[in-house]
Structure 1
Amino acid sequence: MRRMGAGEALQAAAATMLKAVPGIGAVYEGAPRRAAFPHAVVDGGVETDWGHKSGAGREVRFAFVLRDGGERAARLRELASEAAAGLEGLGRELPDWIIVSLGLLRSRIVPDGTGWTAVIEYRARMLRR
């Protein structure tokens, strides 16, 4: 059985969590060409070494993007809040990895021409099991 990388394990766990958020129509692990609103995209992010003398570790900076249409961002703000709460409640044990810390880096909601986009970025520090 192939071992999962830290970013891959985190991306899969985040996608599973986002699929459970009521109101999000679909979750993608890469930007879709076309998708109905609202939807989410999970970006695996950048990985750097966070290992120690006797074990492997990674720091993963990743984001999830929520997109919605409409004149106002009210529904998107609610979805972003629910998604962030779900991610912060994510279990610490993933396949092949343990999340040591998970912290919000930044979030923003901006108009994008066809509606609204929310970008929520996190930093996870993980150790291989």
Structure 2
Amino acid sequence: MSAGGELQTAIASALAGVEVTGVFDGPPARAAYPYVALDATTESDWGHKSGVGREVLVAITLWDDQPVRLHGLADQVEAALEGLTAVEGWQLVTMQLVRRRVVRDVAGPWAAAIDYRARMLSSRQ
């Protein structure tokens, strides 16, 4: 599996304790609020002379119809990812928060977009 795929699996496991109805690989067709949509598929090379490395951009979007609860859930997500250390087949070098913002479409639910940058080295040398 790709670095992004392995990271996405590890993040989904780390978010199991967050009080949401589900963690989905992208926006679900139907889901009860609050839920998480996760995407860790944007990768670029972060290797070195003798090893394979990847920089993976992670987009986590929390959806909810209650803004106060949404902020608390975003805090839970950040706390869960602070403890993330193991990614199958990869050494997680850094997991850096890039930005966090809350937005709302006038006719829709609230969304907390939380973006991370992960830098990883392959353990399979």
Q: CA deviation at 1:34?
A: 1.3
State the partner residue of 1:9. 6
Aligned to 1:124: 118
Q: CA RMSD in A?
A: 1.0
Unaligned runs of 5+ in 2: none
Deviation at 1:50, TM superposition (A): 0.3
| TM-score, length of structure 1 as denominator length | 0.90
- 1:11-50 pair list within 5 angstroms: 11-21=8-18, 23-50=19-46
Q: Does 1:82 align with 2:79?
A: no
1:111 aligns with 2:108: no
Letter in 2 for 1:35: A
- Partner Cα distance (1:101, 1:27) in 2: 23
**Following the alignment from structure 1 to structure 2, what is the Cα–Cα distance between the partners of residues 30 and 74?**
23
Amino acid at match of 2:21: G
Flag as ranges the 4+ runs of structure 1 deviating above 4 A. Answer: none
Q: Read off the aligned partner of 1:61 and give its amino acid letter.
A: L
Shift of 1:69: 1.1
* TM-score of the aligned structures, taking structure 2 as reference length: 0.93
Aligned partner of residue 5 in structure 2, secondary structure = helix
Question: 2:3 touches 2:54 (CA, 8 Å); kept in 1?
Answer: yes
Helix, strand or coil at the partner of 2:29: coil
